């Protein structure tokens, strides 16, 4: 039995190298709806992880405007979690989180930035950069999910996803403004 598995893996790796194509897993999405639901699970995990990470960023930030922005976004993120739960309900599915490797990497990077900077303006600049990376990931994800929801005619999901997408964009704009008007100059 071990030989068959090993042989299949070797053949699969060889085929991948020759064609450049990645073979699909057994439970791979076959339809857009499958991809949509799987992506909802990823972002649900991501938002819940962010609810845990934002208070740590808040504690490490020193700039008042940055602290207020983080606090505001924590409140919004809790609403984002609820909106995603509404999406699952609209699909007739139980809200389920699936670890999002991308968000885990971004949160790990944010933690690393805080560990590698002294408290104050430099750390604040690093926190803004880390937070914006998270926002950009979320903007890309919610934009894709909204496009899927539109095609799938999932009106409740589309409404919720667009509302969250709008808030993520506003948060990114606010972080840019805070960094440009105060933090980056102080960190210089």
| CATH number of the domain within which 144 lies | 1.20.1260.10
Residue 26 belongs to some domain of the structure? no
| The predicted structure's pLDDT at residue 28 | 66
47, part of any domain? yes
Residue 22 lies in a domain: no
Taking CA atoms, 12 is separated from 20, 22, 24, 120, in Å, by 11, 9, 11, 51
Give a yes or no: residue 19 inside a domain: no
Spatial separation of the C-alpha atoms in residues 36 and 42, rounded to whole Å: 10
Q: Please give the tally of structural domains in the chain.
A: 1
At 20 the pLDDT is: 82
Angle of CA points 183, 137, 76, to nearest 5°: 70
166 lies in a domain?
Answer: yes
**Closest alpha carbon to 157 in 75, 95, 113, 100:** 95
Q: Is 2 a domain residue? A: no
Stated pTM of the model: 0.86
Report which of 158, 70, 149 is spatially closest to residue 110, judged by C-alpha positions.
70
Q: Examine residue 18 and state whether it is found in any structural domain, yes or no.
A: no
List the chain pLDDT tens, one digit each, 188 residues.
Answer: 545 555 455 545 555 567 788 888 877 677 999 999 999 999 999 999 999 999 999 999 999 999 999 999 999 999 999 999 999 999 999 999 999 999 999 999 999 999 999 999 999 999 999 999 999 999 999 999 999 999 999 999 999 999 999 999 999 999 999 998 778 778 77
Cα–Cα separations (whole angstroms), residue 15 to 5, 12, 107, 179: 15, 5, 35, 48
Report if residue 82 sits inside a domain.
yes
Which pLDDT score is estimated for 19? 75
pLDDT of 25 reads 81
CA dist., res. 67 & res. 54, Å (int): 10
Q: What pLDDT shows up at residue 62?
A: 95
103 contacts 77 by C-beta, under 8 angstroms? no
Structural domain boundaries, residue 109: 31-187
């Amino acid at each position: 039995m071990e030989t068959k598995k090993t042989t299949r893996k070797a053949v699969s790796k060889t085929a991948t190298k020759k064609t450049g194509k990645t073979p699909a897993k057994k439970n791979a999405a076959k339809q857009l709806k499958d991809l949509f639901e799987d992506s909802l699970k990823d972002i649900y995990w991501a938002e819940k992880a962010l609810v845990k990470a934002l208070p740590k960023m808040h504690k490490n930030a020193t700039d008042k405007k940055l602290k207020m922005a983080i606090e505001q976004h924590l409140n919004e993120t809790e609403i984002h979690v609820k909106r995603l739960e509404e999406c699952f309900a609209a699909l007739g599915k139980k809200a389920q989180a699936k670890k999002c490797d991308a968000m885990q990497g971004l949160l790990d990077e944010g933690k690393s930035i805080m560990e590698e900077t002294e408290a104050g303006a430099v750390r604040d600049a690093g926190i803004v950069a880390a937070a914006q990376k998270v926002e950009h990931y979320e903007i890309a994800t919610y934009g894709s999910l909204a496009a899927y929801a539109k095609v799938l005619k999932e009106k409740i999901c589309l409404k919720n996803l667009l509302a969250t997408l709008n808030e993520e964009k506003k948060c990114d704009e606010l972080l840019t403004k805070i960094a440009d008007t105060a933090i980056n100059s102080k960190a210089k």
